[in-house]
Amino acid sequence: MTDHPSRVPFLLSQLGSVAADRFAAGARDAGVSPSEAGVLRLVGRQPGSSQREVARSAGVVPSRMVPLVDGLEDRGLLARERSATDRRTYALRLTPAGSAVLAALGGVARGLDDELTAALSSDDRDLLTGLLSRMVDGLGLDRDLHR
């Protein structure tokens, strides 16, 4: 153990800031905000989810979800359908255009992953992924969802 304080939080914050800025730029190029990208990803993972369920998964209050879903629906990226099990709620689904944007966002994420880990060997990249995954799991976070 070294006598100097750990720089892990600082380094993670520094990388996180760069990653967030670059992902936001890529999301804008795909025509959505990072928050809208998150909604598309959640609906893509669980088609038919209600707005309330998506809000809960995203860790936001349902009223915050309304303008996001409205905007995505207005632009033809999401569709609302009456729930088959509860007529009071709507199920959210990606439209073909929404699926295309989600695929583009996947490309943005893969490119960013490659960019951020370019200085690492394949073994180091695997090691880093494993260590970060253990940290995320240890904090009880969702590996696939940024909050």
Amino acid 85: pLDDT = 82
Q: What is the DSSP string of 47-74?
A: TT-BHHHHHHHHTS-HHHHHHHHHHHHH
Taking CA atoms, 133 is separated from 73, 129, 142, in Å, by 34, 6, 10
Amino acid 6: pLDDT = 81
Cα 61 to its chain centre, rounded Å, is 17
Amino acid 88: pLDDT = 85
Amino acid (one-letter) located at 63: S
Q: Which domains does the chain have, with CATH numbers?
A: 8-138 (1.10.10.10)
Of 95, 132, 89, residue with least CA distance to 113: 132
Of 69, 87, 67, residue with least CA distance to 77: 69
Dump strand ranges (E) for the chain: 78-82, 90-94
Amino acid 147: pLDDT = 64
Amino acid 28: pLDDT = 97
Amino acid 2: pLDDT = 58
Provide the whole-model pTM: 0.86
Q: How far apart are the C-alpha atoms of 33 and 106, rounded to whole Å? A: 14
Mean pLDDT by 10 residues, the chain (147 residues): 76 95 97 95 94 90 92 97 85 97 97 96 97 94 75
